[in-house]
Amino acid sequence: MPKPGERLQRWVFQEVLGTGSYGTVWSAWEAETARKVAVKVIDKSGLDESHLAGVRLEIEILGRAVHPYIIRMHDMVETDEAIHIVMEYATGGDLYHQISLHGPLREAEACRLFAQLVIALHYCHSVVLCCHGDIKLENMLFDSVRTRNVKLVDFGLGSLISESRVLHRHRGTPAYAAPEVIANSEDGYDGPAADIWSAGVVLFVMLCGYLPFEDESFFGLSDKICAGQYEMAATVSKEAQDLIAGLLDVDATERFTVSDIMVGLVLH
């Protein structure tokens, strides 16, 4: 793993920003321009072939994605020991810490951020032809404290989608997972529809300040998700409640699509 001040090609490491299951994120700068970046350092020794393939898929997806609401990959450097994904540096923190510290958002602000998330997902599903696979508060960064625009990050559980849209990778964060993902059917599930469910959970938390489905056990959580029953905060408007109900429809074929959501946001 790198050390502060160590240089990798044109990138100079600064400090650790966070640590995950398979890698560490560092702040760094470009030696020639002093541009600040974030570098995801993934230790190859801790990866089996399946996880390594997932990392390479994440790099492929990020290489295709050029969008204002998706984190931009600047470079990728692979050594014998590690894979380094160099990305733009988002300075505004993440949505999880924002809500943990300050509680639910005002509806207008939640609507603005949700619209940006949906626009990013539309781009992923229709242009990049991928699903994110792990939409959650922690994976929504703010570009800066001043502008607070969404930067969708961490495509480590992403999947490329074919014309059938059917996926079989049953991963993601359980509290945000759609019922059809939780069910783990051999028939697979519609990838974009599962992303939309997760986006619905995000909108719910932005407005209520808590998750719609919680339980101490995975089996209890699964039962609640598959039943699709939740308690909405009384402060949420009727229009937002209707939107969330359409996003958290347990029947994926009846769930709102990106087009439905965009029309609803414009009318709202």
* Tens digit of each residue's pLDDT (9 = 90 or more) over 120-153: 999 999 999 999 999 999 999 999 999 999 999 9
Residue 105, both tokens: 């958002």
pLDDT classification of 262: cutoffs 50, 70, 90? confident
The yes-or-no answer on residue 94 being catalytic is no
Measure the CA–CA gap between 211 and 96, rounded to whole angstroms.
Answer: 11
**pTM, full prediction:** 0.94
What mean pLDDT comes out for the span 208-232? 96
Query: Which own/partner pairs from 214-221 qualify as long-range (CB within 8 Å, at least 24 positions apart)?
Result: 214/175, 218/174, 221/174, 221/175
Predicted confidence (pLDDT) at residue 118 exceeds the cutoff of 80: yes
> 266 or 262, which is more confident?
262
Measure the CA–CA gap between 91 and 141, rounded to whole angstroms.
Answer: 8
Distances (CA, A) of 63 to 60, 132, 157: 5, 14, 15
DSSP code of residue 70: B
Measure the CA–CA gap between 17 and 256, rounded to whole angstroms.
Answer: 36
- Cβ(226)–Cβ(219) below 8 Å: no
Q: How many other C-beta atoms can be found within 10 angstroms of the C-beta atom of residue 65?
A: 21
pLDDT classification of 23: cutoffs 50, 70, 90? confident
Q: Do domains 7-88 and 95-267 have the same CATH topology?
A: no
Q: What is the pLDDT of residues 6-18, one digit of tens each?
A: 999 999 999 999 8
- Cβ(137)–Cβ(146) below 8 Å: no
SS3 of 178, please?
A: coil
Q: What is the pLDDT of residues 189-217, one digit of tens each?
A: 999 999 999 999 999 999 999 999 999 99
SS3 of 28, please?
A: strand
Predicted confidence (pLDDT) at residue 187 exceeds the cutoff of 90: no
- Cβ(131)–Cβ(191) below 8 Å: yes
Backbone angles phi, psi at 232, to 5 degrees: -85, 145
Per the DSSP assignment, residues forming a β-bridge with 141 are: 94, 151
User: Has domain 7-88 been given CATH number 3.30.200.20?
Assistant: yes
Measure the CA–CA gap between 243 and 95, rounded to whole angstroms.
Answer: 20
Measure the CA–CA gap between 210 and 7, rounded to whole angstroms.
Answer: 42
Helical (H) or strand (E) element with 260 = helix 258-267
Residue 263, both tokens: 């029309």
Please name the residues in contact with 234: beta carbons below 8 A apart, sequence gap of 6 or more: none
Please name the residues in contact with 142: beta carbons below 8 A apart, sequence gap of 6 or more: 90, 91, 92, 93, 94, 95, 98, 148, 149, 150, 151
For the chain, give every domain's residue range.
7-88, 95-267
Choosing from 43, 48, 94, 134, the catalytic residue is 134
User: Has domain 95-267 been given CATH number 3.10.180.10?
Assistant: no
pLDDT of residue 209: 98
pLDDT of residue 21: 66
